Amino acid sequence: MMVKEIEKSGMPVVHMANMTPVAQGIGSNRIVKTYGISFPMFDPNATPEAQKQQRYELVGRALKALNTPVQESTVFE
Amino acid sequence: MKPVIAYVNQFFGQIGGEDKADYAPELRTGAAGPAQALQAQLKDAEITHTIICGDNFMASHTEQALEQIAGFLKELDCALLAAGPAFNAGRYGFSCGEVCKLAWERFHIPALTSMNEGNPGVELYRKSAYILKGHDTAAGMRKDVAAMAALANKLLAGEPLLGADAEGYFGRGIRKEVILKDHRSAADRAVDMLLHKLRGEPFQTEFLVEQEDRVPPLPPVDPSKLRIAFVTTSGLVPAGNPDHLPSGGSTFWARYEIGNRETLEKGEFISVHGGYNTGYAAENPMVLLPLDALKQHVRDGHIGSLHPYYYVLTGNQTAKGDAVRMAREIVAKVREDAVQAIILGST
């Protein structure tokens, strides 16, 4: 709901979320699927080095989503 | 006795709280948790089994969870599936909705549940299930279960339904031909409605045209040229929670400085969110706000610049109206600092 409102105001926005059907249902247009509800940005079972790499790549995906044309609600896996 | 199957999450199935939210689907004989109260009010029907599944398991492994549940349903006789009630709990609403949809679409088992109007599950699943209009918290459990039992009894007895409003569920978008008791024609009713309107009297449309509230996607932007802000609904705050951000039902947001930091360390930041397991965030707050990654992308030239504050609220049980207002307030605030795009992380 917040994401939709932010986009409505003319501010480009990307939604990093785990429950992507919900994110799509509430009207987010650019969605990046995260690792988990309680651990969105990396897998807590990975090594610290791998975790660092995971969050860097996930943010990279969010940046790519901002720069990708979409016609409708789209999940960037 | 008609067989009914109930669905509840790990909490109401008495498996455990957030630490057990990854619990895989289990089939239990008889009625468990709120299903016991439902059973007491059912006429000529028996809850033969209760399916219990952790909300995070359903959200994160949806396909796997549904396959397992489909495996249970395939083997059982079932005249009706009753899920929840889910109140305003977002993940639970999603779980109940997915299971109802599975029962109806794959097995043609009528399914009912109960959710508060603020639950995102309502819009996602009201076409696949009877979703009764429920309370926002478990304090309304007794009434929500009674409403579910009343509708369940009607459905099981094959009694005709009087339509969504009269029965208390969210409209399913189904049009049904009915003969009115007073036999008044559409022309008479339309003229009546017009007269009421002209006199300024209240009147009720007979068919509400649904309007999809979608915002068309904005054109792509190149983040390497933009100033970007990070917003999170995770309840991430400095240790001690200086602004007393609530664990749910946020009516205000807070912002905290990250301009001079490269990382968020254990012990410096915590999450006060009441709707998920905050243990991972306590261990490493960057699981919610990937600050080192954002800063590295700035250095690598992928982000023009990073706004020196992050914005935070607690996403669970926040009313729609508050969410909309806070989104507008945050946009206005970051615009003062020439922010041109937002990354929003949710949990």
pLDDT digits (tens, 9 = 90+) for B121-170: 998 899 999 999 999 999 999 999 999 999 999 999 999 888 898 999 99
Point out the residue among B213, B221, B345 whose CB comes nearest to the CB of A40.
Answer: B345
Point out the residue among A10, A34, A59 whose CB comes nearest to the CB of B294.
Answer: A59
CA torsion A50→A52→A57→A63, rounded to 10°? 170
Each residue of A51-66: pLDDT tens digit? 999 999 999 999 999 9
Among all residues of chain A, which has the CA nearest to that of B341?
A12
Among all residues of chain B, which has the CA nearest to that of A43?
B287
Query: Which DSSP letter does residue B154 get?
Result: H
Expressed in angstroms, the distance from the first to the final Cα of chain A is: 21
CB contact under 8 A, B279 and A38: yes
Please state the ipTM of this predicted complex.
0.98
Structural domain spans, chain B: 2-167, 223-345
Window 83-122 of B: residues touching A by CB (8 A cutoff) are 90-91, 94, 120-121
* B contacts of A12 (beta carbons < 8 Å): 218, 220-221, 226, 340-342
Among all residues of chain B, which has the CA nearest to that of A70?
B217
Question: The CATH number of B2-167 is which of 3.30.450.80, 3.10.20.90, 1.20.1560.10, 3.40.50.2300?
Answer: 3.40.50.2300
What is residue B180's predicted lDDT score, i.e. its pLDDT? 82
Average pLDDT in chain B: 93
Q: For residue B289, name the pLDDT band (cuts at 50, 70, 90).
A: very high
* B contacts of A3 (beta carbons < 8 Å): 327, 344
Long-range contacts of B160-166 (CB under 8 A, 24+ apart): none
Angle A17-A23-A29 from CA coordinates, rounded to 5°: 100
Q: Comparing A75 with B19, which gets the higher pLDDT?
A: A75
Please report the DSSP string for B95-152 in residue order: HHHHHHHHHHHHH---EEEEE-TT-THHHHHTTTSEEEE--SSGGGHHHHHHHHHHHH
Interface check B331 vs A, CB under 8 A: yes
Q: Would you call B269 helix, strand, or coil by DSSP?
A: strand
Taking 90 as the threshold, does the pLDDT of residue B205 lie above it? Answer: no
Point out the residue among A13, A55, A71 whose CB comes nearest to the CB of B286.
Answer: A55
Window 141-200 of B: residues touching A by CB (8 A cutoff) are none
A29 by Cβ neighbours in 10 Å (0-12 / 13-18 / 19+) ranks as: buried
* A contacts of B217 (beta carbons < 8 Å): 7, 29-30, 69-74
- Are B124 and B97 spatial neighbours (Cβ–Cβ below 8 Å)? yes
Q: For residue B210, name the pLDDT band (cuts at 50, 70, 90).
A: low
* B contacts of A60 (beta carbons < 8 Å): 297, 302
CA distance B144 to B115: 9
What is residue B250's predicted lDDT score, i.e. its pLDDT? 87
- Are B233 and B289 spatial neighbours (Cβ–Cβ below 8 Å)? no
* B contacts of A10 (beta carbons < 8 Å): 218
Each residue of B61-98: pLDDT tens digit? 999 999 999 999 999 999 999 999 999 998 999 999 99
Cis peptide bond prior to B246, omega within 30° of 0: no
What is residue B252's predicted lDDT score, i.e. its pLDDT? 94
Rounded to a whole number, what is the distance in Å from the CA of A24 to chain B's nearest CA?
9
Q: For residue B212, name the pLDDT band (cuts at 50, 70, 90).
A: low
* B contacts of A77 (beta carbons < 8 Å): none
φ, ψ (nearest 5 deg) of residue B266: -50, 135
CB contact under 8 A, B341 and A66: yes
Pairing of strands B227-232, B341-345: parallel
What is residue B265's predicted lDDT score, i.e. its pLDDT? 96
Each residue of A11-40: pLDDT tens digit? 999 999 999 988 998 899 999 999 999 999
CB contact under 8 A, B328 and A7: no
Radius of gyration of chain B (CA): 24
Chain A with chain B: Cβ pairs closer than 8 A: 183
Please report the DSSP string for B58-92 in residue order: HHHSHHHHHHHHHHHHHHS--SEEEE---TT-HHH
Which residue, B86, B96, B145, B151, is CA-closest to B116?
B86
* A contacts of B347 (beta carbons < 8 Å): 18, 37-38, 40
Q: Would you call B310 helix, strand, or coil by DSSP?
A: strand
CB contact under 8 A, B331 and A11: yes
CB-CB neighbours of B319 under 10 Å: 17
Q: Comparing B152 with A77, which gets the higher pLDDT?
A: B152
CA distance B248 to B138: 14
Taking 80 as the threshold, does the pLDDT of residue B209 lie above it? Answer: no
What is residue B218's predicted lDDT score, i.e. its pLDDT? 97
Rounded to a whole number, what is the distance in Å from the CA of A49 to chain B's nearest CA?
12
CB contact under 8 A, A3 and B323: no
Q: Where are the beta strands (DSSP E) in chain B?
A: 2-9, 26-29, 45-53, 80-83, 111-115, 130-133, 227-232, 236-238, 254-257, 269-271, 305-312, 341-345
CA distance B136 to B123: 16
